[in-house]
Structure 1
């Protein structure tokens, strides 16, 4: 299926069929797409926590108790739930790890190219840290790029998905021990197969017309 058709047909699922499980080979393919998401200067300031059994999903769903109870069932009845996490800072250890991986993957013709990539990436980090003072927001934007990759990837594999910001970030961070590891939760995504009771599946998709959102110079 062409990407345009996928973009038009995918939607945010509101109810899941708890009896259906995503095959392991399918979730593996989706996670590989996610792992290869783009990010500014290949910064990759993210981590993804995958819950696939009842216990794991219940831990994530605790963050929806109370004011976000409308999202609990989406987390509990889905086949898999992924917590998108963003770094709370850009440490030296991460910068070194990314550079070492790029070198191992053969991206540098010589030491000069390696040094140039390192300098460029650090330049962006420093710009957002010291000049624009929005490094956390900048890293979150990279994580949202990964979210887009996942949503379109899920559609390409015949999976339904629900991205959610409606949960208690602090409670989820505490439940998963994220802040001690240098991360914070950003988005939770449920994955699986829609239930027949999903009202949103029957509604037409709605977007503003092209002439409203597109300008050609």
Structure 2
């Protein structure tokens, strides 16, 4: 399928076939795609939890407004943000840039200092909001990759982050859950898979400005 056909094919899966499991190759591809997602400044203030444990998935379903996709999906993806984006975190990023690209320190230092100053002046809430925006970028990227790979998915905001954080011990990892993405294969009797998409139309969504 081409990209438009793939996006037409995808939908927010309401019912997964709990007997069909994604291959490790597919999970590896999802992991790589997540890692390659664009983020502001390239700082990647995110981590991805990949859960394949029916007991945990069932427990989390209770804190996902009982949305059965969480329990029945092949894997449950939880996109998390880093709780601490400070000077140490930013410096570590620039050390990676220097190591991978062999960029001289004198070129990187002004930008590094600028980011450290900027983030030092932000409140914890402001940094959290910024990081959460990066999580949505990652979610969008994963949805497209899943569509191309014929992997069904259901993006979710409808869950209780505090409960997820507690059950998954995210505080100990310095993380906070912000988005949930069950993935797998649709059930044959999911009536929503056959429904036509309802969209406003390109002419109402896109404004062309040209000379």
TM superposition score normalised by structure 2 = 0.89
Residue deviations 1:96-119 (CA, integer Å, cap 9, x gap): 33222222222x431122213423
Residue deviations 1:39-79 (CA, integer Å, cap 9, x gap): 01012111111101323423433422xxx11x1x2011110
| Structure-to-structure mapping, 1:10-159, within 5 angstroms | 10-64=10-64, 68-69=65-66, 71=67, 73-106=68-101, 108-122=102-116, 124-126=118-120, 129=122, 134-159=126-151
Residue deviations 1:132-166 (CA, integer Å, cap 9, x gap): x7221111001110111111111111100011111
1:187, CA displacement in angstroms?
0.8
Residues in 2 aligned to 1:91 and 1:59: alpha-carbon distance in whole angstroms? 34
8 Å Cα contact 2:38/2:138 also seen in 1: yes
Residues in 2 aligned to 1:119 and 1:92: alpha-carbon distance in whole angstroms? 9
Tell me the matched-pair count: 209
Structure 2: which 5+ residue stretches go unaligned?
none
CA separation of 1:122 and 1:207: change in aligned 2, threshold 3 A: farther
Task: Quote the RMSD (CA, aligned, Å).
Answer: 2.1
8 Å Cα contact 1:41/1:120 also seen in 2: no
TM superposition score normalised by structure 1 = 0.87
CA separation of 1:2 and 1:122: change in aligned 2, threshold 3 A: farther
Residues in 1 aligned to 2:59 and 2:89: alpha-carbon distance in whole angstroms? 27
Give the SS at the match of 1:105: helix
